[in-house]
Chain A
Amino acid sequence: MKKATGRILTAISLLVLSLLLWWAEGHLDPYMCRILSLIAINAVWAVSLNLIYGYTGQFSLGHAGFIAIGAYIASLLTVSPLKKARFFMVEPPIWPISVIQWPFAPSLTVATLAATFFGFLIGFPALQLRGDYMAIVTLGCAEVIRVFIMNLYPITNGAMGIKAVPLYTTPLWSWGFLAFTIFIVKKLGDSSYGRAFKAIREDEVAAGTTGISVFRHKLMAFTIASLFAGLGGVLWAHLICSTDPNAFTFLLSYQVLVVTVMGGLGSLTGSVIGSTIYVALAELLRPLDTPTTRIQALGMTIRGHPGIRMLVISILFVLIILFYRRGIMGSNEFSWQWLFSKLQPIFKRKGAGREK
């Protein structure tokens, strides 16, 4: 198959996808729109983790911290001063938070850059360590960020969080940013820098003696990964419309990890598939968490109970990993060539059937 054919097919499918999303925004109810956006946001996070863990091999558990920074800064910059004055009940907000109100675009830019900067700051000491030690430090840093947020009442409103964040994230926006994230991370992964990242994952010592400045490249990957984590955080805040410190616990980093590993480490296609499965399951199984649910099965009545949902998701996750050792996609990516090679035998068989 020619390269040009693939490009045309990609262009057509992107166009169809945006038309579908545009239609969805107008016709689907807000609940469905929200789920569509959640899939895209989780995929942005997973793609970001893929850059640092899947490509560069650095096990980071600090995503919740960068997501929180993106979400909080975007919320603080966009909520109107009047509302802030009303919600900050323990202590009034300090200047300039008390007076500022920015539109979406500049707020998104600043919040994303702030997450990037924190990524650089935390990556600097954390990436001096290797393997599990690095994972522990990033995990700790994310918790430190959350504890700061919980207690800095004049800036973050502490445990009460920020309410009435304007709803900006529509399916078109979130999927648009997902496309941008995939485009950049894929381009980077295939570039000379991406090869250097992967060389570090394969063998740090050999990468060093082959001329790769190991620490510098780890820091690059980590910083860019926090950029996209922060971007996802901004979109998330403008979708959920309230930013609460309890959303950014270790469980969020774990959730990003689950999505990434389930889809396949090193596969961006896998990140999108993993995110779709995860969000869909979390929504479909929501009744299990509701105490009023009654399910009749095998002559028994099973009652809903908060927490059952995560139990079921975890079991399904274990099953997926049992059948697909390296995640659903492994480290493979979707390509038109791959699709045609899969479709060809089906069409051939059909053709043969008609001849008879």
Chain B
Amino acid sequence: MTILKVDKLSKRFGGLVAVSDFNVEIDKGELVALIGPNGAGKTTIFNVITGLYKPTGGRVHLDGKDITGLRPDKVTALGIARTFQNIRLFSHLSVLDNVKVGRHLRLRSSLIAAAFGLPGYRREEEEIDRASMRLLERVGLADVAQEEAGGLPYGLQRKLEIARALATDPKLLLLDEPAAGMNPAEIRELMGFILRIMEEFDLSIFLVEHQMRLVMGMCPRILVLDHGITIAEGPPEEIQNDPKVIEAYLGVEEE
């Protein structure tokens, strides 16, 4: 069953074509990677899918529903959560509060109920508190729950950003360079973590990555983007030997 279907997506910034005719279909429970040299348009694709940019052309469907051009919060409410290449936490809030913000979109109580602390709201708040603590325990951040998010070590910040995304109950998780700035040992741990949450939270994952080790090691299907155009798609072995991919990454020898 297809969860995400991106159809002929294109995005231009003035005269610059960032993405052109990008297609992808991701099945439920699938893990797909998007790779490509710097400036290939990978993050732009994520930004269009999550509603941060309006596409110049093409459609995005989630679970059969057209979500093209919806506002970011609507997209998140429908089931797509994401992380960012340069971590974007709510730095001055506690770790627990960062995750709790992710539960806000499911809140039913009104502003007035919250302002007066009415019983209905208090019950919901307790529920949010429990769910958020449970989530932190599952991802291994429970000991630092009360600490300020901005003060966490880098690796934990990455983890917290993923936890915050998970708090919104996503069907599809978009990870933008989750291994950026990590050493091989940390990358190995991250790979295990991603595979674990994928199973535990019943997720499909679409990730952008530069680290070949991570991508080749765990993603059954890879898309390669160069200058906004998909130049290859397939399993890791095929991608590694594709002349077009080698050319895009290493350049071609002049005869």
Contacts and interface: CB of A to CB of B under 8 A. Distances in A.
Nearest to A196: B104
B90 A198 contact: yes
Contact of B73 (A184, A187, A214): A214
B16 interface: no
Given A198-B90, A210-B76, A212-B105, A187 B117 contact: yes
A209 B82 contact: yes
Interface string B93-121: 10001001111110101010011110001
Nearest to B114: A191
A225 to B, nearest CB: 13
Interface string A87-107: 000000000000000000000
A202 B90 contact: yes
A318 interface: no
A203 interface: yes
Contacts of A337: none
A206 B104 contact: no
A211 B93 contact: no
Interface in B63-111: 71-73, 75-77, 81-82, 84, 88-93, 97, 100-105, 107, 109, 111
Interface of A is mostly: helix
Given A195-B101, A196-B104, A203-B90, A209 B116 contact: no
Nearest to A188: B115
A199 B103 CA distance: 12
Contacts of B92: 198, 202, 331
Contacts of A196: 101, 104
A192 B104 contact: yes
A192 B125 contact: yes
B158 interface: no
Contact of A193 (B71, B88, B114): B114
Nearest to B88: A206
Contacts of A207: 90, 101
A211 B105 contact: yes
B90 A211 contact: no
A208 interface: yes
Interface residues of B, number: 40
Residue in A207, A208, A220, A224 with the greatest tally of chain B CB atoms within 10 Å: A208
A213 interface: yes
A195 B97 contact: yes
B168 A210 contact: yes
A208 B51 CA distance: 9
B164 interface: yes
Interface string A319-339: 000000000000100000000
Given A202-B92, A210-B168, A192 B73 contact: no
Contact of B111 (A193, A202, A213, A331): A193
Given A187-B114, A187-B117, A193-B111, A208 B71 contact: yes
Task: Say which size band chain A's interface belongs to.
Answer: 20 to 34
B50 interface: yes
A211 B104 contact: yes
A295 interface: no
B232 interface: no
Given A202-B93, A205-B88, A191 B71 contact: no
Contacts of B168: 210-211
A208 B107 CA distance: 15
B121 to A, nearest CB: 7
A149 to B, nearest CB: 30
Nearest to A208: B72
A184 B81 CA distance: 32
A202 B103 contact: no
A28 B103 CA distance: 51
Given A191-B121, A192-B125, A209-B50, A199 B90 contact: yes
B50 A212 contact: no
A192 B116 contact: no
A343 B182 CA distance: 45
A191 B122 CA distance: 9
Interface in A300-333: 331
A214 to B, nearest CB: 7
A209 B76 contact: yes
Given A192-B104, A199-B101, A213 B73 contact: yes
A57 B190 CA distance: 34
A209 B48 CA distance: 12
Contacts of A210: 76, 81, 101-102, 104-105, 164-165, 167-168
The 8 closest A-B pairs by CB, nearest first: A211-B105, A208-B72, A202-B90, A191-B114, A211-B76, A206-B88, A199-B101, A213-B73
Given A198-B92, A199-B90, 8 more contacts: A187-B114, A192-B107, A195-B101, A199-B101, A208-B71, A209-B51, A209-B73, A210-B105
7 contacts: A184-B116, A187-B117, A210-B101, A210-B165, A213-B73, A220-B111, A331-B92
